[in-house]
């Protein structure tokens, strides 16, 4: 059960309301279930994975993005059974729409819990994305009642390169925010550049001409203010990302 101290701590840290914290809390329990039952059969990626590893005080979790290791249908069936068995006691028996096994490609699945919030899941087949490198890491679980979780997540170099590719593709404020936050860790390295060149849309490094324009401040705040405390504007965030890639291009090594 979500204790009040954890609720208030998350609300204060992220500037989030109760519904956001409750979803994040449920996600912690879901990640513990996945770790226990499918730790070798699932890869965990995306913004939520980043917020549970390298950016634990970044954005509150909103969804769970997963990649099957092995046949997707088999992993989907095991995932459905795991979440039902391990979460029903506290949150009620979930319903999945569409069913995890029936979802196709990148189709999202909504898991609805009688005593909890809805959570969006995505389980992709193993060949949906290029072969970004993953590593096993312990996740930040945030809540005292959530069990520990360790899953395969992208390396920090993969996060930098992959998030940049994603920003170029969908131009979402959350991807720009994540990259700007990563610049503070100084992980824009030669390894990240090599991954971008190998798996990204082109071999040259991202630059001011290829990194998308910043969203308007109204869109920035609309999309992000409910899940984090905004300390940089959209324009400032883009400047930091462009600067990090430019520094890497100049010295051919790290930005540090």
What is the full DSSP assignment across 150-196?
A: EEEEE-HHHHHHHHHHHHHHH--HHHHHHHHHHHTT----HHHHHHH
Q: How far is CA 104 from the centre of its chain?
A: 21
Three-state SS at 55? coil
Sheet holding 119-124, edge to edge: 95-97, 109-112, 119-124, 63-68, 42-45, 150-154, 134-138
Is residue 252 scored above 80 in pLDDT?
no
- Domain 4-154: CATH class, spelled out: alpha beta
CA distance 248 to 5: 42
Share of the chain above pLDDT 90, in %: 91
- For 144-195, the pLDDT digits (tens) are 999 999 999 999 999 999 999 999 999 999 999 999 999 999 889 999 999 9
- For 16-71, the pLDDT digits (tens) are 999 999 999 999 999 999 999 999 999 999 999 999 999 998 899 889 999 999 99
Name the residue ranges covered by the structural domains of the chain: 4-154, 157-251
Average pLDDT over the chain, rounded to an integer = 94
């Amino acid at each position: 059960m979500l204790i009040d101290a954890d609720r208030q701590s998350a609300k204060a840290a992220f500037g989030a309301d109760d519904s956001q914290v409750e979803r994040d809390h449920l996600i912690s329990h879901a990640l513990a279930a996945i770790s226990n039952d499918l730790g070798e059969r699932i890869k965990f990626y995306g913004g939520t994975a980043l917020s549970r590893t390298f950016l634990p005080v970044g954005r509150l979790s909103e969804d769970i993005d997963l990649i099957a290791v092995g046949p997707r249908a088999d992993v989907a069936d095991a995932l459905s059974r795991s979440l039902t068995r391990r979460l029903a006691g506290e949150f009620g028996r979930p319903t999945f729409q569409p069913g995890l096994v029936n979802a196709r490609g990148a189709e999202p699945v909504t898991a609805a819990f009688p005593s909890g919030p809805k959570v969006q899941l995505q389980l992709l087949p193993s060949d949906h994305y290029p072969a970004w490198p993953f590593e096993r890491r312990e996740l930040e679980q945030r809540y005292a009642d959530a069990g520990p979780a360790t899953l395969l997540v992208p390396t920090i170099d993969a996060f930098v390169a992959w998030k940049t590719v994603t920003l170029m593709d969908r131009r979402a404020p959350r991807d720009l925010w994540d990259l700007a936050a990563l610049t503070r860790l100084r992980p824009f390295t030669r390894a990240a550049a090599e991954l971008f060149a190998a798996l990204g849309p082109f071999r040259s490094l991202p630059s001011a001409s290829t990194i998308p324009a910043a969203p308007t401040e109204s869109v920035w705040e609309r999309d992000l203010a409910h899940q984090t405390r905004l300390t940089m504007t959209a324009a400032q965030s883009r400047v930091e990302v462009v600067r990090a890639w430019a520094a890497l291009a100049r010295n051919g090594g790290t930005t540090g």
